[in-house]
Structure 1
Amino acid sequence: MDFFGTILWPIKWVIEAILVGFHWALTQLGMDGDGGLTWVLSIVGLVLIVRAALIPIFVRQIKSQRKMLEVAPELKKIQDKYRGKKDQFSREAMQRETMALYQKAGTNPLSSCLPLLIQMPIFFSLFSVLNEARYDRAGVGLLTQELADSFGGANLFGVAPLKYSLVDAFNFGEVWVIIIAIAMILIMTASQFYTQLQIMSKNQTPEMKNSPMYRQQKILLYILPFVFLISGLAFPIGVMFYWLTSNIWTMVQQWLVIRNMPTPGSEAALAREARLAKKNRGRIADDAQALAESIEEKPETPVRTQRQQPVGKNRAKKQGGPKK
């Protein structure tokens, strides 16, 4: 086992345990253990568990990226201030001001990259487990040779082998694999494009849109979908189900974050404030209506008057009656 494989070994063991656990649970529910649908649902369950565990890292990454975008205009001012100055004093002054800006904002360039570096070994392990299983190779843990053979020979709906890629499908004439693979690649590409578009169109302030970082994101908006489009040609459809499920999770997760935790001053933040204001107005109107209805329905309280007591003749004379 090489150095890279040694590092990934414990992660792959956990991933195999989750995958095999889902496969066992589905077979206990009566599904075919060698069926393609059983393995696809096991892959989907695996992705959901892994992505749910990564939610805290994702939130931290979003906050770090947001802070970096917020300081981008100020960072550009510092860079413009020392542009063309190559002496040692200017370089040190620029570095001090840059670090002071990062310290004031509570972030740094590495903080936004660290969560991604943590996720990379997990994603490599996921891909490795599924890719080795399609070649009928046993895993490092609970994915035995028997289960690897089962995955390698599984067919989705009995017509599309999970181990075939789009290139393999063209070579072997697998029409259903071609149809399923093309549909999945298009959905993967569209979901990736929409996810990035959400960030750029709704979760950026006007200042952020004038920063160099925004221009870099705009380039990635059109480059990343092509990466999925090209890499999808070589991915077997069993592995593509992992990527598709992960992309859909990311798209929904990003939508929820932008809706509930938007960048201050962005279009999404203004939309959230408008929703909250409308909700508060509706709540106040409902309370006022309920109060009015309760007042109308409340019965009037009768006015109690004091009963006039009869007065005798002698008592009336004492109280100032007519004298005879």
Structure 2
Amino acid sequence: MDFFETILFPFKWLVSIIMVGFHEGLSSIGMPAADGWTWTLSIIGLVLVIRAALIPVFLKQVNAQRRLRLLQPDLKKLQEKYKGKTDPLSRQAMAQEQMALYKEHGTNPFSACLPMLIQMPFFFALFQVLSGITTAANQGTGIGAMSHELVVQFDEASIFGAPLSASVLHGGGGDPVAVAVLTILMILAMTASQFITQKQIMAKNMPEEATASPFLQQQKVVLYILPVVFGVGGIIFPIGVLTYWTITNLWTMGQQFFVTGRRAPGQGRLPHQG
């Protein structure tokens, strides 16, 4: 077991336990155990559990993003103050003053990325679980909390003719056209929801002096690069993983609209954290 596998091992068990729990619950109320929609709803249940647990982190992220943008004019002044000064003492002084500004505004450059970083182990764990479904089914083994019987059920489960364990790049059975069409539709949904969410974050209550900041310009670049990343990654991911990521992005978009919509239109700076 390599280092990456060792790190993901507990996440693979947690992901599979949650999916199996939802699958058993849905089966107990009459949904067919081997049906693709039963497993799809189990993946959606996994999203709901993870995202509900991350709501407090998301609220901190919203505040951190706004504070970081409000901070940009002060950071720009600081950069102008030390412009052209490359000696070690000046660079150290600039770094110290930057940290003081971050502390004063109750934020840091990495706080806005925290929810994404927390989700990544679950995403990679789900990718490993679903990518190994067909192999485990053929070898007569289980994966995490999924018994061999459940693995076989999942391997044979499909929606709209596309197996949940199949991907465009690696195949996996089923109708290749159905897999390709469903993959494209999910990629479009992922990228559109991501784009709308980021536009909403950048536009809502943004002070005029912050719109020309280097930080915001960098975010605009990221805004247009992400769809390309999702497009390339989408052909690698199984349909089940695309389902997870699509529902996650739609949840984030809805959550962002809800949170920003509750803020008064004319609201100014957020209170500093102590």
* TM-score, length-scaled by structure 1: 0.74
Q: Tell me the residue number matched to 1:155.
A: 158
Which of 210, 214, 218 is 1:212 aligned to? 214
Give the stretch that moved more between structures: 19-28 or 139-148.
139-148
Letter in 2 for 1:156: I
Give, in angstroms, the shift of residue 16 of structure 1: 1.1
Kindly indicate whether the alpha-carbon contact (under 8 Å) linking 1:192 and 1:251 is maintained by their aligned counterparts in 2: yes
Q: Distance in 1 between matches of 2:219 and 2:228?
A: 15
Cα deviation digits, residues 68-125 of structure 1 (max 9, x gap): 2111110111111111112233223222322221221122224334444333223222
Q: Percent identity between the aligned chains?
A: 51
Q: What does 1:124-273 align with in structure 2 at a 5 Å threshold?
A: 124-136=124-136, 138=141, 141-157=144-160, 159-167=161-169, 174-261=176-263, 269-270=265-266
In structure 2, the gaps of 5 or more residues are: 269-274
Q: Secondary structure at the match of 1:31?
A: coil
Give, in angstroms, the shift of residue 246 of structure 1: 0.7
Cα deviation digits, residues 289-323 of structure 1 (max 9, x gap): xxxxxxxxxxxxxxxxxxxxxxxxxxxxxxxxxxx
Q: Distance in 2 between matches of 1:140 and 1:20?
A: 11
Q: Tell me the residue number matched to 1:295.
A: none
**Alpha-carbon distance change, 199 to 78 in structure 1, aligned in 2, over 3 angstroms:** same
**Alpha-carbon distance change, 166 to 215 in structure 1, aligned in 2, over 3 angstroms:** same
Give, in angstroms, the shift of residue 41 of structure 1: 0.9
Q: What does 1:1-324 align with in structure 2 at a 5 Å threshold?
A: 1-136=1-136, 138=141, 141-157=144-160, 159-167=161-169, 174-261=176-263, 269-270=265-266
**Alpha-carbon distance change, 115 to 252 in structure 1, aligned in 2, over 3 angstroms:** closer
Greater relative CO, 1 or 2 (CA 8 Å, sep 6+): 2
Kindly indicate whether the alpha-carbon contact (under 8 Å) linking 1:72 and 1:213 is maintained by their aligned counterparts in 2: yes
Kindly indicate whether the alpha-carbon contact (under 8 Å) linking 2:47 and 2:248 is maintained by their aligned counterparts in 1: yes
**Alpha-carbon distance change, 22 to 115 in structure 1, aligned in 2, over 3 angstroms:** closer
Q: Tell me the residue number matched to 1:265.
A: none
- The alignment yields a C-alpha RMSD, in angstroms, of 2.4
Give, in angstroms, the shift of residue 165 of structure 1: 1.7
Q: Distance in 1 between matches of 2:6 and 2:247?
A: 27
Kindly indicate whether the alpha-carbon contact (under 8 Å) linking 1:134 and 1:163 is maintained by their aligned counterparts in 2: yes
Letter in 2 for 1:103: K
Kindly indicate whether the alpha-carbon contact (under 8 Å) linking 1:8 and 1:121 is maintained by their aligned counterparts in 2: yes
In structure 1, the gaps of 5 or more residues are: 263-268, 274-324
Give, in angstroms, the shift of residue 249 of structure 1: 0.5
Kindly indicate whether the alpha-carbon contact (under 8 Å) linking 1:134 and 1:162 is maintained by their aligned counterparts in 2: no
Letter in 2 for 1:143: M
Q: Distance in 2 between matches of 1:191 and 1:134?
A: 31
* TM-score, length-scaled by structure 2: 0.87
**Alpha-carbon distance change, 242 to 13 in structure 1, aligned in 2, over 3 angstroms:** same
Q: Distance in 2 between matches of 1:19 and 1:33?
A: 12
User: When the two structures are aligned, how many residues end up with a matched partner?
Assistant: 265
Q: Secondary structure at the match of 2:153?
A: helix
Q: Tell me the residue number matched to 2:272.
A: none
Kindly indicate whether the alpha-carbon contact (under 8 Å) linking 2:43 and 2:243 is maintained by their aligned counterparts in 1: yes
**Alpha-carbon distance change, 17 to 194 in structure 1, aligned in 2, over 3 angstroms:** same
Kindly indicate whether the alpha-carbon contact (under 8 Å) linking 1:132 and 1:139 is maintained by their aligned counterparts in 2: no
Q: Distance in 2 between matches of 1:168 and 1:95?
A: 47
Cα deviation digits, residues 212-267 of structure 1 (max 9, x gap): 111011111111112112211222212211111111111101111211247xxxxx
Q: Secondary structure at the match of 2:180?
A: helix
Letter in 2 for 1:145: H
**Alpha-carbon distance change, 216 to 107 in structure 1, aligned in 2, over 3 angstroms:** same
Letter in 1 for 2:251: W
Kindly indicate whether the alpha-carbon contact (under 8 Å) linking 2:19 and 2:45 is maintained by their aligned counterparts in 1: yes
